[in-house]
Structure 1
């Protein structure tokens, strides 16, 4: 009965989240302050409920809930919603908040309606350690940073086309400048790259100490190194002024597709990465 109730509550959260996205959309295109206010309230309610469920789950399992793919998706969605609320209150760029919430909503949908087996991890609680906890935490932080860089890159492409075609309207007046979005991509990447590198180092150290055997050619490890190299090359070429403007933005978009592949497909094909 409790499981059914929790499932219904999560479905209700998805509905509230969907309604808030509609309200944010109305505010963006029609400058409806009331829609913006109620959209923010609904996202805040979703965030509060998510936070409560995270705390209850921690109390039930006596650990931080990030050690399975199922838990990782939920925590990823929670971080995205948290970031969207912070940006709503500080940065005041509506389309940035709206875009982050779309990604968060997709993750909530996957978490809520995913097959039950996603929650089951062969890792088990016997392998829980501070090292593993730090490894997974840094991995999720890097994914959030790369998600933000993706949103900035999409914003850059949108701004560039609007300015080029001279179709600037009242709906776009709160958008940042091209320079601001480019800096946003770079700063997000600067946060994401070292976070992913630390996650890889800590993860391999944990695997060496905790597992009987593991391969460096595991799909998740290989995918993470490819991702690290991809973003590092983008950052290096941008620093050398060899990758600028729309090409720089497209590079971030393509890199984020690799992030998604590594997050989902890499985890499913991995021999021991059953959580992230």
Structure 2
């Protein structure tokens, strides 16, 4: 645990430096700073991967507490953002994504690590539950990246309306590319969340006594999140919404997702770890 603590502190420091270099590049269009930031971010990803691997080697899963889930979520954001950057080369997207990723990881500093009951540990022997949580977090990561594309879209749209064309916009993707990327991420995320809810329901049906879990705050809000993103896809695919209107709807959907993650657990009877 002492080695993990040192590794965690090192990751935080390197991650902060990476974000600072990305911020300097964002303001000054400095390619050298951008290159340093990218390599520092790569080191963060490797270090986080080692940290998560150590948890698995200890015959545990990184889902035990808020600390673990936030750390895992930060790792997922970095992983997906690096993959997006490899194929599409979006520096401004990397900057915004890793501001979010660093903020999430920094929040985990104020939370305790693994502190679970024997009963909860027993539940994690269920393959249904492991797949349920994995799919849920993959969908959350995809929804987050989609929201980041939407925020960048709204930022660039506002500058265009004000006729303020700057260096940041010249380096960024077009509004059409941002709109399409956001849409494709949601196409991937909605089925993942749907399957996650199905698998979670199967686990709850076979594990928990009674049907009270159906009325759990986390379950109800998660279904509402799925409904909102389904409405987003309906408006986009069937009714043909594009541009600023559908982008604003996507941001609203993500806000509801954040509310679900942050607040619903306060009233949940069995979602004690995510």
Q: Tell me the TM-score normalized by structure 2.
A: 0.93
Task: Choose which of 104, 111, 119 in structure 1 pairs with 2:114.
Answer: 119
CA contact (8 A) 2:235 2:246 kept: no
Displacement of 1:108 after TM fit? 0.7
Aligned-partner Cα distance in 2 for 1:269–1:119: 21
Aligned-partner Cα distance in 2 for 1:58–1:215: 29
Aligned-partner Cα distance in 1 for 2:31–2:271: 45
Q: Which residue of 2 aligns with 1:137?
A: 134
TM-superposition CA deviations, 1:172-230 (whole Å, max 9, x none): 21211111111112111111111111000100100111122342110100010110011
Aligned-partner Cα distance in 2 for 1:126–1:47: 30
Mapping of residues 1-276 of structure 1, within 5 Å: 2-3=1-2, 5-60=3-58, 62-114=59-111, 116=112, 119-122=114-117, 123-128=119-124, 129-213=126-210, 214-241=212-239, 243-276=241-274
Aligned-partner Cα distance in 1 for 2:217–2:271: 9
Task: Give ranges in structure 1 of 5+ residues lacking alignment.
Answer: none
How many pairs does the alignment contain? 271
RMSD: 1.7
TM-superposition CA deviations, 1:9-50 (whole Å, max 9, x none): 323321211111110111122121111111111111111111
Displacement of 1:130 after TM fit? 0.9
CA contact (8 A) 1:7 1:112 kept: no
Aligned CA distance change for structure 1 residues 205 and 69 (closer, same or farther; 3 Å)? farther
The alignment partner of 1:120 has SS state of: coil
Displacement of 1:94 after TM fit? 1.1
Aligned-partner Cα distance in 1 for 2:169–2:176: 16
Displacement of 1:138 after TM fit? 0.6
Task: Give ranges in structure 2 of 5+ residues lacking alignment.
Answer: none
The alignment partner of 2:62 has SS state of: coil
The alignment partner of 2:197 has SS state of: helix
The alignment partner of 2:215 has SS state of: coil
